[in-house]
Structure 1
């Protein structure tokens, strides 16, 4: 235990040893703090403070973006591959983000098999499998061959779908 005794201009710090005997630890003049302000920061100190402030702001902004992205992706940050994949990722992300993370981790062969299955299922649901040019494309897809026209070009594919009178305007059963 330490005791502080203050005299008029002297300060004495006593420490009680384990035998409760006072032992003088330090004696000195009382120092009165200066009332003058500290010197202004140097240009180098100001530059360092500004650098730290910019770094803290950038870090906070990055963390805010990551928090937003985590919420969008079901609590997990997406891989770079998921961030850059073409297609309707946002539609699937809103439906089942865990499925997208699982597909991302599954690897290319599984991803391709799921894409083939989803394409066939979508064409069946839309009533397109009876059209010869769609059936031909689904066969090429199943055999891992390049897609035939008009499926080799997005604009031509959408034009063919819009202009073929046999294509129904429904999107499901």
Structure 2
């Protein structure tokens, strides 16, 4: 199977880093659990451009972003042995060296845990659906509606506070951790 795996929110805990930077700039105390929807900046009453700047700062600090799940590197390796697996990110390509350095440090390496690192534009949100993957593993709730019209494609929606209240669909399955992903795709 051809599988596309998102990085931020699925492998790396970018949400916590974004909150940390936001809190230091605005003297707030948000946590990732306070992010109730994808476009959370509206709830926090800041322009989208400011949030994009904060994301850029977080990308520059990739060396300090933690894994979402310590099982991810090992399970990615197992998946890559039996599936054609790529990492797919909406991060700006100018931050690729920061990202690759962090992934390598966390023992997520090209050729071992994944085939290629694919960049897509952050919008439209459904750009990943158009790629040639049978399965996407992602935390973006905006992928649910467009993937429904492609019944041969599947979305494993990695549970995060911003997608927790959404329901599964015929080709959308919620997953809580990498062990669950392993159970669905290997066992």
TM-score by length of 1: 0.24
Task: Give the structure with the larger helix fraction.
Answer: 1
TM-score by length of 2: 0.23
Greater C-alpha Rg = 1
Structure number with the bigger relative contact order (C-alpha 8 A, sep ≥ 6) is: 2
